Amino acid sequence: MTIATSRARTAFLCITTTMVLACNNSNAPLTGNAADPLMIGSINIAVSTTSEDDYVDLDGYTIEIDAGRLIQPVGINDTVNIAALKGVHLVRLSGIALNCSTSATDRWIDVADDKTAARVSFSVTCGNYWDY
């Protein structure tokens, strides 16, 4: 091996190592695998709607996770499962018609692990359109 070849290989290894270390971004997306400390779990969201004389919100509602980072439509009597990173998340129910109400539109939920879905439910009650 010549000195030039040896220096070229050394330079290549140094540059490659520097690039790998420089590109190791701690803010990069998480893979969610089991070795990852922030495992991906799930949030199970149930919505139930009751009404007087079938005055329901026909177009359904919207689920927002963490102030709009994820938006998912949901029916008036529906359940959705959403993948989420381990930790505490804000779940919001929006798009509620004026003649409908719920006790709380925002719920904090803790996704503890990837084995058990965190559960949250919303109960919506709708009244007569003409009363609003």
**What is the pLDDT, as a whole number, of residue 26?**
35
Judged by DSSP in three states, 3 sits in helix
- Confidence tier at 49 by pLDDT (50, 70, 90): very high
Q: What are the structural domains of the chain?
A: 40-131 (2.60.40.1120)
d(CA 2, CA 102) in angstroms, rounded, equals: 78
- Confidence tier at 28 by pLDDT (50, 70, 90): very low
